Amino acid sequence: MPNSLQDLFSQDQGAYAFFQSLPMFVQDHIKRHAHRIQTKEELSGMAHNAARDGLQLGQYATMFEDETDSDIDLQ
């Protein structure tokens, strides 16, 4: 088992590729808590939680607003 996030990245290129694909605010969160991550599962879990928590911030609210017209008949 890797002893650190850097060890995980050295041993598992897939874990590193996953990390690189994450939004910057999630990467930053993971870097701040790197000492708690030793496995790909821990990396994935922390990324999921950070993304969920981050997307609940007001600055992202407009991304999830529904702009469709509720009077549209889809039949």
Instruction: Give tens-digit pLDDT for 6-34.
Output: 999 999 999 999 999 999 989 999 999 99
pLDDT of residue 44: 96
| Residue 25, domain member (yes or no) | yes
Residue 66 has pLDDT above 90, yes or no: no
- Domain of residue 51, residue span: 5-56
Residue 62 has pLDDT above 80, yes or no: no
| Residue 35, domain member (yes or no) | yes
| Residue 62, domain member (yes or no) | no
Cα atoms found within 13 Å of the Cα of residue 8, Cβ hemisphere only = 20
Q: How far is CA 12 from the centre of its chain?
A: 18
| Residue 30, domain member (yes or no) | yes
More confident residue, 42 or 1: 42
- d(C-alpha 71, C-alpha 18), whole Å: 41
| Residue 19, domain member (yes or no) | yes
pLDDT of residue 49: 94
Q: What is the number of structural domains in the chain? A: 1
| Residue 40, domain member (yes or no) | yes
| Residue 23, domain member (yes or no) | yes
Using an 8 Å Cβ cutoff, are 44 and 54 in contact? no
| Residue 18, domain member (yes or no) | yes
Cα atoms found within 13 Å of the Cα of residue 61, Cβ hemisphere only = 3
**pTM of the full predicted structure?**
0.73
